[in-house]
Structure 1
Amino acid sequence: MDNNSQLIDGDLNVELDNNWELISDWMKRSESIIVKKLSRNDSAWADARKSGEEAVSGQHATSKQNGIYLPVRVVDFFKVQAQSTSDKPHILFADLFTYWPASGQTLCSRLTRYTNKPSETQLTRLPKEHFQDLSPASLLVGGRVNHSANGANYWFIVVDSESEDAERLEEVFDIGVEFRADIFDSSYAHGDRAWEMAKTLDEIDAHLQSGTISDFIRSAAVFPHPQEMARQAQDHFTKYYNLKNLDPFKIACPGDAIMKISREIEYKKYKTYELRHRAAQIIQILQRQAAANLTQAVVRGFSELNEVFLSASQHRRSRAGLSFEYHIARMLKDGRIHHEAQKVTSRRRPDFVLPTLDAVRSSQSRADEALLLSAKTTLRERWKQLSMERFACGRFLATVDDRVSAEAIDEMSKEGICLIVPESLKSSDEICYRDKSNVIAFRTFFDDEVVKRRPGLRY
């Protein structure tokens, strides 16, 4: 912990094991919520070891940073009066007490703004142990409370990107890979999506009043097939950008396009369908109980209700993976690139083989004639499935995951696996991809790996 930090209460030995109940409880107490995706620099200072040793992210222990950078658009979250010293009038600072529920600490943190560098504001004097050993693209969530809690008006929790809590936060706040930081209204803490909820509630009320609730249940009973939902999102994208199709050679940044279609356009459509579908399921369960009141219906139907919520979470994950594959397949088709999907190779079933499975299996096939292409929205350890394929052709893994560590990327390189990521992720200074030679953008994949190196893949 920073020597200037003031420990009011708490136990430094408390294990920092966050959970959703804790996060949700503090969000509900807040009048305003801030979420920031942590860059490598935001946690490198905490991972710095002894002097001269290199930190996990490539920063050195001699780095002066001992906190996080905040973009200008979120600085207003802090309602504090800044001051300056006579010798450095361009530096404005304000001390504020921050509470860290995961370890019970209240610290005297400092907000520092450099007026000669408008984009630079730092929040320092933070609990170092909370920021250590974090996965890339982890999150900091915090809130401002009206009434002082544990001696502070601000609270913060660090959420590792590999945790389920991170997935919940991303869902609640619609956090995509391009997200950096933002301030949210406290209504988000209750899961409110005002427009969607109001529309669905009005629809249900109308059916209840007319005695036709069974019609609503039937209309919301079936989700559109994932392929149909993907097509709707693709059509929305091409129409908005006045494109004839999704030819990757006609789109400046095809990877960013896939990410936008899947993570933004299609996901919004999915949430609309999901809200109606799950509401209909729950209404049907409660109706079946024939209980005297709502409380009895909920208790009697608990097991069925629990299955609905578990199914919702699992369905979101599987849908995301299928969506990614469908959009890549569409680009391969519109780009006139020979490919076959879901063909069984020696051990696994990669998402795509280019140009054909026979070509990949051929003993004459070389790295400049064929390739395997798998797609994973999130990697974790699943990239090792591709390492089991031992063909002479190239092995590529496409992803929109911004949480992949430098160590995992280096392991893939040793296995001869090339990672394909959206253009904005490849060029970002806040992710581990920029300086890795075995990580390329979708633009590079289509231009170099397909057109230049394997021209026979196009027809």
Structure 2
Amino acid sequence: MQQDMFTAEPEASLDDLIAVLEGAEQVYLKKLSLNDWQWSENPRAHQAGVYIPQQDRDGGFFPPLGLKDRQEGGALIREIWFELEWPQAARTKTARLVHYTSKGPETHLTNLVKEPFRGISPASLLVIARDRLREGSLRFRALIVDSNGAGVDYLRDLFGFDSAFISGCYVPETVARESEERVLDHVEQAVFAWRAGTLEAFAGAHAVIPGTSQMAAMAQAAYLEANGLSSLDPFAMKAPGDAVMQISRDIEYRLFRDFELKARSMELVRIVLGMEGASMSVERALRALITEFPRIDKLMLSAAQQRKSRAGKSFELHIERILKDGRVPYEAQVVIESKKRPDFVLPDFSLYSDTGRAREEALVLSAKTTLRERWKQVHGEIRDCDLYLATVDENVAASAISDMGEEGIILVVPELLKVSDAAVYRKQSNVISFGEFFGLHLRRNRYPLWRTRGLFP
């Protein structure tokens, strides 16, 4: 859709999101399918609103539905109209939650403000906050949080939903209490150490966050134990891509955040309170908060950067683990021309460099947790072979996927994302699942070629 170059669609900032969530007694989140938002740009779209699952409709967050008066007869229609504020558009509009009983449990939230939905990325989130006004009436406020912004990470950290999340309702007060309970033991130990004058030793015991390789191994072990597996053999798993996504985006992320909380909080204590124990006065602590703000800001920035760099490297390690467990021949991080260093060359660098080989005998597998424009970096890694780009990024636009296809790049995504209604992967010819990569593109198409060269048993 062409837009005026001077017209920008409203975009929710992190401050906007925090303002909407503040004071909310309940919060509803829904990962938007393509049908949930493309109606805002296409007036001929079949669906003109957001699909609301039956369990969400009847879960107590939305006002209860009533029967619509239909003098003409026909199947029953259940509906409720309620005021819905849209801070992004500075508008309030009466929304309609409607259930056409003739269509089974199908329910839609319609009569919505279009502007916040326009031009958003796949897998963006609808956020509706419900709070109670002084007179007892309910107020509903809604935002669209673009999946390419910081708001999604903020919501994930706040409410703890995982990579398979579709929708759900949360009570912030309960979430906060559960979060406090998870760290209560650490807090009590820190307070005890502070009063006893042993805070320095306590902080030192929690100062080190395990390295990326160690953290990745811990996450893999946790996944194997939880699923009763002995290896991450991709040929023995029904959905190897989903396993990689769960290990990297859920299990390892939770492990890392736990270690990070303990280490970074102690660094913050060191900056603000020092290690003097109970002798620190409130006045001195207040002065430190103000005068040491540059150090605090630097600490927070360092923490954010570490999260991003860790995620990319650990994703490579998880892919390398499934290559090893599947006995797939490969070489990692070999240097090719112009100092380019692809993540994985299959089956080995020698065959990759052989000018007499057939194109399909070798391939490059690159790994990036998120794509954006970074996919362009891997195009130079092709030398007369196919380039596969593995990712767990679900918010890639169809135009970007088409551009990758023109450059000969084949995307490899988890099985859940390949069929997801929120992503645009399902109908893209140059997008395959991890299972297809291992089962079809390797075992069926390339293993026979490698065997003839004696590279594979």
TM > 0.5: yes
Distance 1:361 1:195 in 2: 56
- Matched with 1:52 is none
**SS across alignment from 1:388:** helix
**Residue in structure 2 matched with residue 356 of structure 1 by the alignment:** 348
Aligned to 2:155: 169
Amino acid at match of 1:122: H
Which sections of structure 2, spanning at least 5 residues, go unmatched?
1-6
Distance, in Å, in 1 between the alignment partners of 2:121 and 2:8 is 20
* C-alpha displacement of 1:186: 1.5
**3-state SS of 2:328 partner:** coil
Shift of 1:390: 3.7
Whether 1:257 and 2:243 are equivalent positions in the alignment is yes
Residue pairs, 1:258-337, within 5 angstroms: 258-288=244-274, 292-337=283-328
Cα deviation for residue 349 of structure 1 reads 1.8
The residue matched to 1:99 in structure 2 has which SS? strand
Instruction: State the AA in 2 paired with 1:304.
Output: R
Compared CA separation, residues 203 and 73, structure 1 to 2 (3 A)? farther
- Contact conserved, 2:418 with 2:426, CA < 8 A, in 1? yes
Q: Per-residue deviation at 1:130?
A: 1.2
Between 241-250 and 252-261, the greater mean CA deviation after superposition: 241-250
Partner of 1:51: none
Q: Once the two structures are superposed, what CA deviation does each residue of 1:135-165 show, in whole Å capped at 9, x if it has no partner? A: 111111120010179x971000111111222
Deviation by residue 1:193-242 (Cα, 9 ceiling, x = unmatched):
23322232122122223321112210111110111111111111112222
The structure whose residues are more often helix, as a share, is 2
2:69 aligns with 85
Runs of 5+ in structure 1 lacking a partner? 1-12, 49-60
49, 57, 60: which is aligned to 1:67?
Answer: 49
Shift of 1:273: 0.5
Q: Deviations over 1:316-335 (max 9, x none)?
A: 11111112111100011111
Deviates more, 1:72-81 or 1:415-424: 72-81
TM-score, structure 1 normalization: 0.89
Q: Does structure 2 conserve the Cα–Cα contact (< 8 Å) formed by 1:107 and 1:126?
A: yes
Q: Secondary structure at the match of 1:299?
A: helix
Q: Is the 8 A contact 2:9 2:115 kept in 1?
A: no
Letter aligned with residue 155 of structure 1: R
Residues in 1 aligned to 2:177 and 2:94: alpha-carbon distance in whole angstroms: 31
> For 2:268 and 2:310, how far apart are their aligned partners in 1?
21
Alpha-carbon separation, structure 1, partners of 2:365 and 2:435:
15
User: Is the CA contact 1:371–1:396 (under 8 Å) kept in the aligned structure 2?
Assistant: yes
TM-score for both structures, normalised by structure 2: 0.89
Alignment: residue pair count: 434
What is the aligned partner in structure 2 of residue 6 from structure 1?
A: none
Aligned equivalents of 2:303, 2:102: Cα separation in 1: 49
- The alpha-carbon deviation at position 435 of structure 1 amounts to 1.3
1:247 aligns with 2:233: yes
Q: What residue in structure 1 maps to residue 383 of structure 2? A: 391
User: In the alignment, is the contact (CA less than 8 A) between 1:98 and 1:152 conserved in 2?
Assistant: no
- Tell me: CA distance 1:188–1:384, structure 2 relative to 1, closer, same or farther (3 Å): farther
Partner of 1:383, secondary structure, is: helix
Do the aligned residues in 1 keep the contact of 2:334 with 2:342 (CA within 8 Å)? yes
In 2, are the aligned partners of 1:221 and 1:277 still within 8 Å (CA)? yes
Contact 1:91 1:113 in 2 (8 A): yes
Instruction: Tell me which residue corresponds to 2:82.
Output: 96
1:345 matched residue in structure 2: 336
Distance change in 2, residues 1:79/1:185 (3 Å): same
